[in-house]
């Protein structure tokens, strides 16, 4: 692996990754503040709702971050677009007591729809609070609502909108905590785990670059689809096979993952299953045409990565990677290559070799 190319992958990752939500970065700070204000509004709502009720009748909740923030696989939106965070709201109720899931979702909607500076939206899997600035969408918080005290001990997600048909107003089994643990504990060795997370982020940025302006109806994969595909097909490339020394190769790891995804779907429809209960096929709602579009873009990614791997010129190789991963992937200038190659090699003793 060319060290200069690997440095480009490192720099690319540093540029696109979303850091730990608890770190004091401006985008993190704003999202964290918005989340906490909204959670307080939900608490205030239930405090009023529970007033004068017996203890066993009171509706309470607990919460935790879920999704890419919780799994450290988030990427910054292109061109300072819409940042988001996913929050789980787990209510102390049994889904069987509320056959219409939107009854419960409406509580959260009412709790949040109280301020003029926010737009609260019904979505099938969640309630979203959208913030705008100068007419542009800047931040949003997605609240997934779960029934958390069911006879089988599982969580169930409240799905549907107020306007949905009855069949869509349902409770779906879900395992958000288990998914977080599964992804975060896929690899025990630090370098392998870090590379695994980087490959997920590289594919997410590729998706945003290659499906610009397109929604899921045209074959755009979701973040969880790419996470599950990487979980299934990734193999770490962080050691020299002969010396067993650390030798990180993100290009090889990304190409291997993309190749395995392609190979698994050449003769059949694409399938990838959520690695936790309910183990559903995440491509089940895609049409054949949408799958073909996804595979077409994936093949183009594979082709460019193969050409980059085979190209001995780091300038040309990084141009090929830049083409598929987008403008944030740096291209090594020819002058930088010439300057590096002209330097005398140095031995461990400090003398020229």
Query: Would you write out the chain's pLDDT as a tens digit for each of its 353 residues?
Result: 589 999 999 999 999 998 765 554 555 778 888 999 999 999 999 999 999 999 999 999 999 999 998 999 999 888 767 788 999 999 999 999 999 999 999 999 999 998 878 999 999 999 999 988 766 667 899 999 999 999 999 999 999 999 999 999 999 999 999 999 999 999 999 999 999 999 999 999 999 999 876 554 556 889 999 999 999 999 999 998 888 889 999 999 999 999 999 998 765 678 899 999 999 999 988 888 888 889 999 999 999 999 999 999 999 999 999 999 999 999 999 876 655 554 433 333 333 22
Whether 213 and 166 share a structural domain: no
**297 close to 211: Cβ distance less than 8 angstroms:** yes
- Through-space distance between the first and last CA atoms of the chain, rounded to whole angstroms: 22
Whether residues 166 and 243 fall in one domain: no
Q: Is residue 350 part of a domain?
A: no
Does residue 227 belong to any structural domain of this protein?
yes
33 in the same domain as 87: yes
Whether residue 192 sits in one domain with residue 125: no
Residue 285 lies in a domain: yes
DSSP three-state, residue 27: helix
d(CA 220, CA 297): 10
How many domains in the chain?
2
**Residue 349 forms part of a structural domain:** no
**Segments forming the whole domain that contains residue 271:** 186-340
158 and 246 share one domain = no
Last residue of a domain, one of 134, 150, 174: 174
Domain membership of residue 305 (yes or no) is yes
pTM confidence score: 0.89
């Amino acid at each position: 692996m060319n060290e200069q190319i690997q440095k480009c992958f490192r720099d690319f990752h540093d540029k696109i990754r979303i850091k730990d939500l608890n770190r004091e970065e401006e985008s993190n700070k704003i999202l964290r503040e918005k989340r906490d204000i909204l959670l307080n509004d939900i608490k205030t709502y239930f405090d009023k709702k529970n007033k004068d009720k017996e203890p066993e009748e009171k509706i309470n909740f607990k919460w935790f971050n879920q999704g890419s923030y919780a799994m450290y696989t988030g990427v910054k939106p292109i061109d300072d677009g819409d940042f988001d965070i996913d929050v789980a709201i787990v209510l102390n109720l049994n889904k069987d007591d509320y056959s219409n899931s939107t009854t419960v979702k409406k509580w959260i909607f009412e709790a949040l729809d109280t301020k003029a500076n926010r737009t609260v939206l019904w979505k099938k899997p969640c309630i979203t609070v959208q913030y705008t600035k100068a007419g542009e969408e800047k931040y949003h918080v997605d609240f997934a609502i779960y029934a958390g005290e069911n006879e089988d001990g599982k969580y169930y997600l409240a799905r549907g909108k107020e306007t949905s048909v009855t069949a869509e107003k349902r409770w779906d089994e879900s395992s958000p905590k288990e998914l977080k643990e599964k992804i975060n504990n896929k690899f025990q060795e630090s370098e392998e785990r870090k590379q695994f997370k980087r490959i997920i982020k590289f594919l997410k940025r590729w998706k945003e670059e290659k499906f610009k302006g397109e929604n899921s109806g045209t074959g755009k994969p979701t973040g969880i689809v790419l996470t599950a595909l990487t979980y299934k097909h990734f193999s770490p490339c962080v050691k020299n096979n002969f010396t067993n020394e650390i030798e990180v190769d993100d290009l090889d790891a990304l190409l291997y993952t993309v190749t395995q995804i392609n190979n698994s779907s050449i003769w059949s429809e694409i399938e990838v299953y959520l690695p936790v209960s309910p183990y559903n096929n995440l491509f089940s709602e895609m049409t054949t045409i949408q799958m073909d579009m996804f595979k077409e873009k994936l093949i183009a990614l594979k082709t460019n990565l193969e050409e980059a791997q085979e190209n001995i010129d780091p300038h040309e190789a990084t141009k090929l990677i830049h083409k598929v991963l987008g403008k944030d992937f740096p291209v090594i200038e020819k002058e930088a290559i010439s300057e590096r190659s002209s330097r005398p090699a140095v031995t461990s003793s400090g003398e020229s070799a």
